[in-house]
Amino acid sequence: MAVDAFFDGLSIAIGPEALLWLTVGLLLGIVLGALPGIGSPVGMAIVLPLTLPLESTMALILLIAIYSGAMFGGSIAAILINAPGTESAAATTLDGYPMSKNGLAKNALAIATTASALNGFLAAIILLLISPVLIQVVLAFGSPEYFLLAILGISLITIVTQGSIVKGLVAGALGFMISTIGTGILSPRPRYTFGQFGLYDGIDFVAALIGMFAFAEMMKLAAKSQIAEADVSLGGSIKEGVRTVFKYPKTTVKSGLIGMGIGMIPGSGATTSTFVAYAEEARSSAKDGRFGEGDPRGVIAPEAANNPTVSGSLIPTLSFGIPGSGSTAVLLGGILMHGLQPGPVLFDEQLQITYALFISLFLGNVLILAVGLTVIPYASRLTELDTNVIIPAVVVLSFAGAYTLNQNWFDVMAVVVLGVLGFYMVQYNYSVIAFVLGIVLGPIAEENFFRSLQISGGDYAIFVDPLNRPLSFLLSVLILLILVGPFLKPYLERKIDRV
């Protein structure tokens, strides 16, 4: 069955319509990724409602192509003007911008393109190879395991959230509360609707994403008049940049594996993976490295990690409905909006769709390499766009997209309210990703919690039964370790020091 599904997915992915949307998505992603303040989550959130007329697989291919293209596009502004187009490209500025100042901008851009695309191939192949195992793992999950997995995803906020753990948990809890607005999942009672019929269906997930990513980012961008503060010049050699990547195969492969591994962790995203890859390369090359002064390995490591993070984050998103990043949260919104269900169905009855997405990811990286190297001589023009054009266009598209979802003005109001909330959350260091995870995981946790209790006749032991449900028991132990670990660690360290 898996072989038949693979060839069905292959025929979908190499069809003319899929290749068209793949190309459109990649070009759009590169442009959006190159504009600081836009990036992949914002671009995907704006485009998401506009995919309604498309067939579901084509819509998902378009969204994944935007995601993948933006991973490379973000490096353009990072290298040329020291302002990362996406958060994931922040680590690239550390050595990419010094290379640009040293007259090697083309080298740095070619390194970013080649490293990103090569490891994108590698990650897509790994994804295809491990998919049979993934299918078995996904099919082993029942309602108790899904409930515990959702709780595990929320618990991981304490690890992956930068800054205060308490602020991360507060943001996650707030998102969880937002998800409870509307009619109950297993009972017909309205909750927190205040008598407003427009809230009976709850806050639309896609409208929330548009508000938190697109509208909030435009509020931030309003403080700037132009993307680039000064003229940008392009020096160096594209060919030499491509050769540089092949001089460091260990750095390239190692960073790619780091990116894919971290991408699988819910809430971590490409920002974490790129900085971890950069830090690991700086550590292992400390003897001869010139990190921070324009060392090419400082560009290879984060760029080799960013695209595999896309593949890694697809695993929890498609397998369990738990997004690995803000971009995959939007992708999950697309999956649900088009009537698909993450989990066993995508890995069983609709396996051909999953394979089509994996193969499209592989093909997308071929295009990134070709398109990326072609646009390098013109890359500086993307940084010269006027924000007075970008902001009104994005806001209008956001409102139009939100209204299109349900022809409901409450969705437009949700964009504004959550956009303002998202803006102030960023200002005061509350994690937007944690908030989005709360919205996403809230309904999954609630629905599977009550279903589990229905299965067990109200017995809570179903979540911690090592004999009959070992997977549930393992997940429960992991949650306990994650929640107690940060508080237990200082105590254990003091005990060890005394010994």
DSSP secondary structure letter of residue 191:
E
Measuring CA to CA, which residue among 219, 159, 276, 173 is closest to residue 426? Answer: 219
Tokens of residue 145, six digits: 């395991």
Measuring CA to CA, which residue among 258, 218, 235 is closest to residue 396? Answer: 218
Sign of the alpha-carbon torsion through 58, 61, 67, 70: negative
Rounded CA-CA distance 451/144 in Å is: 8
Tokens of residue 437, six digits: 């995870």
Rounded CA-CA distance 115/369 in Å is: 9
pLDDT for the residue numbered 16 = 92
Could you tell me the pTM of the whole model? 0.73
pLDDT in tens, 12-30: 888 899 999 999 988 888 8
pLDDT for the residue numbered 421 = 92
pLDDT for the residue numbered 420 = 92
Rounded CA-CA distance 210/215 in Å is: 7
Tokens of residue 414, six digits: 């949700």
| Intervals of the chain under pLDDT 70 | 1-2, 36-37, 82-87, 156-163, 223-233, 266-269, 271, 286, 324-325, 380-387, 499
